[in-house]
Amino acid sequence: MYCENCGKKLEKGEVFCENCGTKVSSVDAKKSDLMKNNRNLIYVGLVVVAIVLAFVFFGGQSEEVKLIKSWQNAFLEDENVTFGEVVDYAMTNVKWKDVTYEGKKAVRLSGVDKETGTKIVAIFDPDVEADTIFLYYEENGEEENALEMAFYVTEYADEAAEYFGRE
């Protein structure tokens, strides 16, 4: 809090300004304390928001999503890139989400092909014992053969490997 008359910083609880002798208004003191408390609440709120955003953007992926993203099919083994890396390279607005598909745990991928603008949705089986990882695939809302997702990813495998410095 500062003196209304001379502008000198006042210590908490002072009744008179030590510099000019002006009486300190108790209303001003309360207002100053209130502003300080509001400022502290804003800082705490910003910290909480930052933590939540960090969790959303940098963590919080399920083990199923991590498994699908780390997967390497026969086509990708030679490229030394993972499925998730190729998808992140080839698409924008990529979203990985845990879902239930035909009564089973699954992972849903959605995004837009960077080159063509094609909207892609794919659903994967995170069960490592399953015959195939691919369950469902669509481009621009039209269902396609689920195995087409494997071919889609291999189209970008060389570029992704080069991008990640693993050519």
Mean residue pLDDT across the chain: 80
Query: Where does residue 103 fall: left (phi above 0), alpha (psi -120 to 50 degrees), or beta otherwise?
Result: left
Domain borders along the chain are: 1-60, 63-163
Band (166; pLDDT cuts 50, 70, 90): confident
What letter would DSSP give residue 6?
T
Helix H or strand E encompassing 89: helix 83-90
pLDDT at 6: 85
Average pLDDT of span 108-128: 91
Band (93; pLDDT cuts 50, 70, 90): very high
pLDDT at 41: 77
Band (23; pLDDT cuts 50, 70, 90): confident
Is the pLDDT at 110 greater than 80? The verdict is: yes
pLDDT digits (tens, 9 = 90+) for 140-157: 999 998 888 888 888 888
Average pLDDT of span 33-37: 67
SS3 content of the chain, % helix, strand, coil (to 5): 40, 25, 35
